[in-house]
Structure 1
Amino acid sequence: MSVSTHVLDAAKGVPAAGVPITLTDADGVVLTSSATDSDGRAKDLLPEDADPGVYRLTFDTGHWFDSVGVVGFYPEVTISFTIVDPTIHHHVPLLLSPFAFSTYRGS
């Protein structure tokens, strides 16, 4: 079972590098912390011994907006998702701009 993400700066059409990310379980226990790489990606976020269930990715968008000199509306974005099948990869992308965001079940 694995989880990855990709953050795209939708306002500029480029990867959002350096976005801090925290993965928690349904109880709010922090499992991993990371940041997006130069391509806006973070891989292998889920520990190997994780069980199926509800997880949350929290993106520290306020920190990232500050770092690139942009005033944004969302200080953080949290995406909750459910892992049912532990045999498949789960990709959770984030399309981000200062006043909007969206996500979808990636592949």
Structure 2
Amino acid sequence: MSLSTHVLDAAKGRPATGLAVRLDRHDDTGWTTIAEERTDADGRITGWSPGPGTHRLVFDTGAYLGPGAFYPEVTVAFRIGDPGEHYHVPLLLSPYAYSTYRGS
């Protein structure tokens, strides 16, 4: 099983380079950080293998968008069920809106 993300800056029309992203896992005791990384020059992070369960990606949009960012953080929680599948969670970001979906 693998997990990746891709962040696109809709206002600039290009990848969100250098955006900090944290991967957390949820269990009976709460959330635990299992990985932290920054998006590459193409706005991507690949190669994570968190295993089945409930996870979340926490995007540090405040640091990326700058002071006064309307969304200082974007958190996307999701479930990984089938360990044989690839999971891709893209984020389309702008100063006053964002969207996400399960990609391929």
TM-score by length of 1: 0.89
Inter-partner Cα distance in structure 1 for 2:21 and 2:47: 12
- Alignment partner of 1:84 is 2:56: no
Residues 65-107 of structure 1 deviation map (CA, whole Å, 9 limit, x = unaligned) = 12xxx74200000000100101010000000000000000000
Aligned residue-pair number: 101
Partner of 1:16: 16
Partner of 1:75: 72
TM-score by length of 2: 0.92
Q: Give SS of 2:87's match.
A: strand
Structure-to-structure mapping, 1:1-107, within 5 angstroms = 1-26=1-26, 27-47=30-50, 50=51, 52-66=52-66, 71-107=68-104
Structure 1 runs of 4+ with >6 Å offset: none
More strand as a share of residues:
2
Identity percentage of aligned residues: 55
1:40 shift after superposition: 0.2
Root mean square deviation, CA, Å: 1.2
Q: Give SS of 2:48's match.
A: coil
Unmatched runs of 5 consecutive residues or more in structure 1 = none
Residues 4-62 of structure 1 deviation map (CA, whole Å, 9 limit, x = unaligned) = 00000011210000000000001310110001000000011234xx3x11100000000
Inter-partner Cα distance in structure 1 for 2:49 and 2:63: 23
